[in-house]
A = this chain, B = another copy of it.
Amino acid sequence: MGDGQATALRPGVPYDRATLYARGAWRTFTGPALGEIAFPLGGIGTGTVSLGGRGQLVDWEIFNRPGKGVVLPYSFFALWARAEGEAPVARVLEARLQPPYRGGFGLPTATVSGLPRLREATFSGSYPFARVAFRDERLPVTVSLEAFNPFIPLNDRDSGLPVALFLWTLENQREVPVEATLAASLLNAAGYDGQAALQNRRHPLFGQNLNEWVAQPVGPATLMGLRMTTRKYEATDARFGSLALATPWPHVTGKLRWERAGWWDDVQSFWDDFAADGRLEGPAEPEPSPDGETDVGTLGLVVRLEPGQRVTLPVVLAWHFPNLYNYWNREEAVRGKRLGNWYATQWPDAWAVATYVAEHLERLERETRLFHETLTTSTVPAVVLDAVSSQASIMRTTTCLRTEDGRFHAFEGCHDRAGCCPMNCTHVWNYEQAVAFLFPQLERTMRETDFGHNTLPTGHMAFRTLLPLVGATWQFHPAADGQMGCVLKLYREWKLSGDTEFLRRLWPAARRALEFAWRHWDPDRDGVMEGQQHNTYDIEFYGPNPMTGAFYLGALRAAEEMARALGEEELAATYRAVFEKGWRRLDRELWNGEYYVQDPGEQASQRYQFGPGCLSDQLLGQWFAAVVGLGYLLPPERVRAALTAIFRYNWRPSLEEHASCQRTYALNDEAGLLLCTWPRGGRPPYPFPYADEVWTGIEYQVAAHLIYEGLVDEGLAIVKSVRDRYDGVKRNPWDEVECGHHYARAMSSWSLLLALSGFAYDGPAQAMGFAPRLAAAGGGLAPDGSGGEAAALDAGGSGAGAGQPGSGAFASFWSTGSAWGLYRQESLDAAGGRSRGLQVSLEVRYGQLELRRFGCGWPAAWRPSPWTAAEARLLQPGEPPQPLAVTVVPGDDGPPAVGVTAGPERLPGVVFAGPLRLQAGDRLELELEL
Instruction: List residues of A whose CB falls within 8 A of some B CB.
Output: 35-36, 68, 90, 96-97, 99-109, 112-116, 261, 263-265, 267-269, 271-272, 275, 413-416, 420, 607-608, 656-665, 667-668, 685-686, 689, 692-693, 729-731, 737-741
How long is the Cα–Cα vector from A36 to B109 in the complex, in angstroms? 22
Flag if B36 contacts A100 (CB, 8 Å).
Answer: yes
Are A107 and B686 also in contact (CB < 8 A) when A100-B35, A114-B662, A662-B114 are? no
How long is the Cα–Cα vector from A265 to B687 in the complex, in angstroms? 9
Give every chain B residue within 8 A of A668 (Cβ-Cβ): 96-97
Give every chain B residue within 8 A of A608 (Cβ-Cβ): 263
Flag if B103 contacts A659 (CB, 8 Å).
Answer: no
| Residue on B nearest A90 in the bound complex, by CB | B659
Flag if B112 contacts A663 (CB, 8 Å).
Answer: no
Are A739 and B105 also in contact (CB < 8 A) when A100-B729, A100-B731, A667-B113 are? yes
Flag if B114 contacts A663 (CB, 8 Å).
Answer: yes
Distance in angstroms from A7 CB to nearest chain B CB is 34
The 3 closest A-B pairs by CB, nearest first: A114-B660, A107-B664, A113-B664
Distance in angstroms from A755 CB to nearest chain B CB is 27
Flag if B663 contacts A108 (CB, 8 Å).
Answer: yes
13 contacts between A and B (CB under 8 A): A97-B668, A99-B729, A100-B730, A106-B738, A107-B665, A108-B664, A109-B663, A114-B659, A114-B660, A114-B664, A115-B660, A265-B607, A268-B686
Give every chain B residue within 8 A of A96 (Cβ-Cβ): 667-668
Distance in angstroms from A195 CB to nearest chain B CB is 15
Are A107 and B663 also in contact (CB < 8 A) when A36-B100, A685-B272, A686-B265 are? yes
- The listed residue (B101, B116, B269, B740) touching A659 by CB distance below 8 A is B116
- The listed residue (B105, B265, B416, B693) touching A104 by CB distance below 8 A is B416
- The listed residue (B97, B414, B664) touching A106 by CB distance below 8 A is B664
- The listed residue (B104, B267, B275) touching A414 by CB distance below 8 A is B104
- The listed residue (B101, B415, B739, B741) touching A667 by CB distance below 8 A is B101
Are A264 and B662 also in contact (CB < 8 A) when A99-B729, A100-B35, A740-B105 are? yes
Give every chain B residue within 8 A of A663 (Cβ-Cβ): 105-109, 113-114
Which of A103, A415, A608 has the largest count of B CB atoms less than 10 A from its CB?
A103
Give every chain B residue within 8 A of A265 (Cβ-Cβ): 607, 686
| Residue on B nearest A695 in the bound complex, by CB | B106
Distance in angstroms from A2 CB to nearest chain B CB is 40
How long is the Cα–Cα vector from A38 to B283 in the complex, in angstroms? 49
Give every chain B residue within 8 A of A269 (Cβ-Cβ): 685-686
Report copies per complex: 2
| Residue on B nearest A728 in the bound complex, by CB | B100
Say whether chain A's binding surface is mostly helix, strand, loop, or mixed.
Answer: loop
Give every chain B residue within 8 A of A115 (Cβ-Cβ): 659-661
How long is the Cα–Cα vector from A103 to B264 in the complex, in angstroms? 32
Distance in angstroms from A681 CB to nearest chain B CB is 14
Flag if A665 contacts B106 (CB, 8 Å).
Answer: yes
Give every chain B residue within 8 A of A109 (Cβ-Cβ): 661-664
How long is the Cα–Cα vector from A575 to B46 in the complex, in angstroms? 71
Give every chain B residue within 8 A of A692 (Cβ-Cβ): 114
| Residue on B nearest A727 in the bound complex, by CB | B99
Flag if B662 contacts A737 (CB, 8 Å).
Answer: no
Flag if A275 contacts B420 (CB, 8 Å).
Answer: no
How long is the Cα–Cα vector from A667 to B97 in the complex, in angstroms? 8
Are A737 and B104 also in contact (CB < 8 A) when A113-B664, A664-B113 are? yes
Flag if B667 contacts A114 (CB, 8 Å).
Answer: yes
Give every chain B residue within 8 A of A114 (Cβ-Cβ): 658-664, 667, 692-693
Give every chain B residue within 8 A of A740 (Cβ-Cβ): 104-105
| Residue on B nearest A101 in the bound complex, by CB | B730
Flag if A420 contacts B104 (CB, 8 Å).
Answer: yes
Distance in angstroms from A735 CB to nearest chain B CB is 8
Flag if B99 contacts A730 (CB, 8 Å).
Answer: yes
Flag if B689 contacts A264 (CB, 8 Å).
Answer: yes
Give every chain B residue within 8 A of A662 (Cβ-Cβ): 109, 114, 264
Give every chain B residue within 8 A of A738 (Cβ-Cβ): 105-106
| Residue on B nearest A68 in the bound complex, by CB | B104
Are A737 and B103 also in contact (CB < 8 A) when A114-B661, A667-B113 are? yes
Are A689 and B263 also in contact (CB < 8 A) when A414-B104, A740-B104 are? yes
Distance in angstroms from A917 CB to nearest chain B CB is 47
How long is the Cα–Cα vector from A104 to B263 in the complex, in angstroms? 35
How long is the Cα–Cα vector from A682 to B252 in the complex, in angstroms? 31
Distance in angstroms from A602 CB to nearest chain B CB is 21
How long is the Cα–Cα vector from A413 to B108 in the complex, in angstroms? 17
How long is the Cα–Cα vector from A661 to B258 in the complex, in angstroms? 14
Flag if B272 contacts A101 (CB, 8 Å).
Answer: no
Give every chain B residue within 8 A of A416 (Cβ-Cβ): 104
| Residue on B nearest A726 in the bound complex, by CB | B101
Are A415 and B104 also in contact (CB < 8 A) when A271-B661, A660-B115, A662-B109 are? yes
Are A112 and B661 also in contact (CB < 8 A) when A96-B668, A100-B729, A104-B416 are? yes
Distance in angstroms from A726 CB to nearest chain B CB is 10
Flag if A267 contacts B661 (CB, 8 Å).
Answer: yes
How long is the Cα–Cα vector from A249 to B190 in the complex, in angstroms? 63
Which of A101, A267, A661, A739 has the largest count of B CB atoms less than 10 A from its CB?
A661
Distance in angstroms from A427 CB to nearest chain B CB is 18
Give every chain B residue within 8 A of A68 (Cβ-Cβ): 104
Distance in angstroms from A845 CB to nearest chain B CB is 36
Distance in angstroms from A623 CB to nearest chain B CB is 24
Give every chain B residue within 8 A of A102 (Cβ-Cβ): 36, 731
Give every chain B residue within 8 A of A685 (Cβ-Cβ): 268-269, 272
Can you add 9 more A-B contacts, CB < 8 Å, to A101-B730, A104-B414, A268-B686? Answer: A99-B730, A101-B667, A101-B731, A106-B664, A107-B667, A113-B664, A114-B661, A116-B659, A269-B686
How long is the Cα–Cα vector from A272 to B108 in the complex, in angstroms? 45
| Residue on B nearest A96 in the bound complex, by CB | B668
How long is the Cα–Cα vector from A112 to B658 in the complex, in angstroms? 12
Which of A267, A662, A667, A729 has the largest count of B CB atoms less than 10 A from its CB?
A667
Flag if A104 contacts B661 (CB, 8 Å).
Answer: no
Give every chain B residue within 8 A of A263 (Cβ-Cβ): 608, 686, 689
Give every chain B residue within 8 A of A661 (Cβ-Cβ): 109, 112, 114-115, 264, 267-268, 271
Give every chain B residue within 8 A of A275 (Cβ-Cβ): 659
Which of A416, A420, A660 has the largest count of B CB atoms less than 10 A from its CB?
A660
How long is the Cα–Cα vector from A608 to B264 in the complex, in angstroms? 11
How long is the Cα–Cα vector from A370 to B739 in the complex, in angstroms? 52
Flag if B657 contacts A116 (CB, 8 Å).
Answer: yes
Give every chain B residue within 8 A of A420 (Cβ-Cβ): 104
Are A104 and B657 also in contact (CB < 8 A) when A113-B664, A265-B607, A663-B114 are? no
How long is the Cα–Cα vector from A686 to B262 in the complex, in angstroms? 10
Are A104 and B741 also in contact (CB < 8 A) when A264-B689, A692-B114 are? yes
How long is the Cα–Cα vector from A693 to B105 in the complex, in angstroms? 11
Distance in angstroms from A101 CB to nearest chain B CB is 5
Give every chain B residue within 8 A of A665 (Cβ-Cβ): 106-107
